[in-house]
C-alpha cells in the first residue's frame, strides 16, 4: 500500500480501537480522505481519530480512565513558613476545632494519625507542662497528612496536607538542591498554598521595622518560590497568608496595619494587573496569652478554619468544572453511539434485497438501550454535580467572613470571586 496511507489494522493499533470499528467508521464516511480499493480501505496517515464514545478495547478504557483521573486528581494543600512560625500548632488547633465539628463541618483522618494529633493537642493544652514540653519543637522532617472534610458526616473532599520544615526553604545554597526542588514540585502540584507569618514579628510601634522583620524572616525566601511558579504557569495558586499568634501582636498591630505590612512585605502578590492571582490575609490564633512564660494561656482557636475552607472551596470549584466537562463529553459520546446505530438501522431498512428484519429490531433495541443508559448516567452525574455545588454554596457562606481578599491586586470580597 502507498506509504501515504495506513491499513485498517495499522490505524486500529494507532487509535487503540478494533479493526471492525475502524472499518465501520470508513463505511460511514467519518474519516476524511479514505480511499477504497475493492474491499481494502486506505486511510491517510494524517487522519485524525473521530470523536467516539464506543469503548472497545482495554487500552481505550484505560485511556479514558486516565483522562478522568487527571480531571479528578487529589487535592493537595501545602503550608510554608520559616521555623518557629507556628505551622504545627496551627495544624493541631485546626484538627481540634474541626475534629469536634464546626457548623456541621468536621475533619477526619485515619485512626493512627488521629491518636497522634489528639495526643499532641492534649499536651499543648496541658498548662502544667513546661514550655519546652508543651509546644512542639521544630522539625527537619516533611510532614504529610491525609484528611477528609465532611459535612454532616458526608465526605465533601479528601485532601493531602503537606508541611515543609522552615529550614528546608532556604537550603538551595547549602547543597540540598534535591530537597529544594521537592518543595518547588509540591508548590506546583498544590491546589492552594498557605504561608505562615509569625505574629511575634509584628510587635512594637515601628511599621517599617515590622515590614523588615517579615521580609528578613519569611517573604525574602518564600517569594522566590512563587516567582519561579509564576514563570512556569503565568498565574499563582490561590494563596492564604496566615498570620499566626495574632493574639501576641494584636495590641501593637491592628488589622489595617497588618494588611499594610503584608502588602509591602509580599508586594508582588498585590500588584494591580491582569495576572490571575487571589490572595487572602487571615489572622489566626490558637489561644490568648498561650505563649506567656507562665504557660497559663488556654487553647481557644480563632479563625483557624477559614484557610482550610478556602483551600477546599477552590479545589471543589475546579472539580465542579471538570465534572461539568465530563458530563458534556459523556453526552456527546452517547449521542455519537446512538447516531451510528440509527444510521446502521436506516441503511438496513432501505435495503432492497437481503433486508433483515431481525437486524432492524436488534438495532432498535440497541438504540433504546443506549438512550436509557445515557439518561440514567446523566441523571447520576448531575446528582453528583448538584451535591458538589450545594457543598460549595455552604462553604461560601463561611468564606464571606474573610475580610481581606485581594483579586489581581485589588481588595475585594469573597463574593467577588464567586461572581
C-alpha–C-alpha distance, residues 10 and 219, integer Å: 56
pLDDT in tens, the chain (419 residues): 545 788 888 888 888 787 778 887 887 778 888 877 666 788 888 888 876 544 344 443 443 444 444 444 578 888 888 877 788 888 888 888 888 888 888 899 998 888 988 888 888 777 777 766 777 666 566 788 899 888 887 888 888 888 876 666 665 555 567 777 777 777 788 888 999 999 999 999 999 999 999 998 888 888 877 887 787 777 888 999 999 989 889 899 998 999 999 999 999 889 888 778 899 999 998 877 666 655 566 777 788 889 999 998 988 888 888 888 888 888 888 888 899 999 988 988 888 877 888 888 999 999 999 898 888 888 878 887 888 888 888 888 889 989 899 998 889 888 888 77
C-alpha–C-alpha distance, residues 35 and 12, integer Å: 16
Threshold 0.75, pTM exceeds:
no
C-alpha to C-alpha distances, 272 to 231, 248, 338, 410, 411, nearest whole angstrom: 18, 31, 51, 6, 10
C-alpha torsion angle, residues 73, 414, 276, 193 (rounded to 10): -50
Tell how strand 5-6 and strand 278-283 pair up: unpaired
- DSSP codes joined into one string, 45-81: TTPPPPP-----SHHHHHHHHHHHHHHTPPEEEEEE-
* The pLDDT value given to residue 306: 92
Q: Which domains does the chain show, CATH number per domain?
A: 1-50 (1.10.10), 74-316 (3.40.50.300)
* The pLDDT value given to residue 241: 95
CB 57 within 8 Å of CB 77:
no
| Count of Cβ atoms closer than 10 Å to residue 290 Cβ | 23
* The pLDDT value given to residue 70: 44
* The pLDDT value given to residue 195: 92
Helix, strand, coil shares of the chain, percent, nearest 5, are: 55, 15, 30
C-alpha to C-alpha distances, 153 to 59, 148, 150, 314, 393, nearest whole angstrom: 38, 10, 5, 21, 17
Assigned C-alpha cell, 362? 436488534
* The pLDDT value given to residue 72: 45
Amino acid at each position: 500500500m502507498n506509504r501515504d496511507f495506513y491499513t485498517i489494522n495499522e490505524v486500529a493499533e494507532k487509535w487503540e480501537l478494533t479493526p471492525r470499528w475502524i472499518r465501520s467508521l470508513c463505511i460511514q464516511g467519518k474519516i476524511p480522505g479514505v480511499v477504497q480499493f475493492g474491499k481494502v480501505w486506505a486511510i491517510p496517515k494524517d487522519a485524525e481519530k473521530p470523536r467516539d464514545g464506543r469503548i472497545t478495547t482495554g487500552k481505550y478504557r484505560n485511556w479514558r480512565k486516565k483522562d478522568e483521573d487527571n480531571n479528578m486528581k487529589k487535592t493537595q494543600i501545602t503550608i510554608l513558613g520559616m521555623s518557629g512560625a507556628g505551622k504545627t500548632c496551627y495544624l493541631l488547633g485546626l484538627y481540634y476545632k474541626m475534629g469536634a465539628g464546626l457548623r456541621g463541618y468536621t475533619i477526619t483522618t485515619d485512626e493512627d494519625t488521629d491518636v497522634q494529633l489528639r495526643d499532641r493537642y492534649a499536651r499543648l493544652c496541658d498548662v502544667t507542662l513546661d514550655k519546652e514540653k508543651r509546644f512542639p519543637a521544630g522539625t527537619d522532617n516533611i510532614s504529610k497528612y491525609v484528611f477528609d472534610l465532611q459535612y454532616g458526616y458526608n465526605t465533601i473532599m479528601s485532601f493531602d496536607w503537606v508541611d515543609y520544615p522552615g529550614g528546608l526553604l532556604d537550603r538551595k545554597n547549602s547543597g540540598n538542591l534535591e530537597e529544594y526542588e521537592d518543595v518547588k514540585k509540591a508548590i506546583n502540584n498544590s491546589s492552594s498554598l498557605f504561608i505562615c507569618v509569625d505574629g511575634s514579628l509584628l510587635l512594637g510601634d515601628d511599621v517599617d521595622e515590622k515590614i523588615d522583620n517579615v521580609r528578613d524572616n519569611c517573604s525574602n525566601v518564600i517569594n522566590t518560590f512563587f516567582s519561579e511558579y509564576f514563570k512556569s504557569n503565568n498565574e499563582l495558586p490561590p494563596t492564604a497568608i496566615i498570620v499566626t499568634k495574632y493574639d501576641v501582636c494584636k495590641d501593637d498591630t491592628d488589622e489595617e496595619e497588618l494588611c499594610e505590612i503584608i502588602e509591602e512585605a509580599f508586594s508582588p502578590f498585590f500588584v494591580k494587573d491582569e495576572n490571575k492571582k487571589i490572595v487572602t490575609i487571615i489572622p489566626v490564633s490558637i489561644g490568648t496569652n498561650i505563649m506567656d512564660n507562665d504557660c497559663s494561656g488556654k487553647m481557644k482557636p480563632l479563625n483557624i478554619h477559614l484557610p482550610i475552607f478556602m483551600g477546599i472551596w477552590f479545589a471543589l470549584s475546579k472539580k465542579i468544572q471538570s465534572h461539568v466537562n465530563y458530563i458534556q463529553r459523556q453526552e456527546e459520546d452517547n449521542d455519537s453511539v446512538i447516531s451510528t446505530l440509527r444510521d446502521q438501522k436506516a441503511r438496513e431498512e432501505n435495503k432492497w434485497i437481503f433486508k433483515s428484519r431481525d437486524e432492524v429490531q436488534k438495532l432498535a433495541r440497541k438504540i433504546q438501550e443506549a438512550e436509557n443508559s445515557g439518561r440514567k448516567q446523566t441523571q447520576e452525574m448531575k446528582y453528583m454535580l448538584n451535591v458538589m455545588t450545594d457543598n460549595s454554596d455552604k462553604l461560601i457562606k463561611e468564606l464571606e467572613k474573610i475580610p481581606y481578599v485581594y483579586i489581581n491586586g485589588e481588595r475585594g470580597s469573597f463574593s467577588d470571586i464567586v461572581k
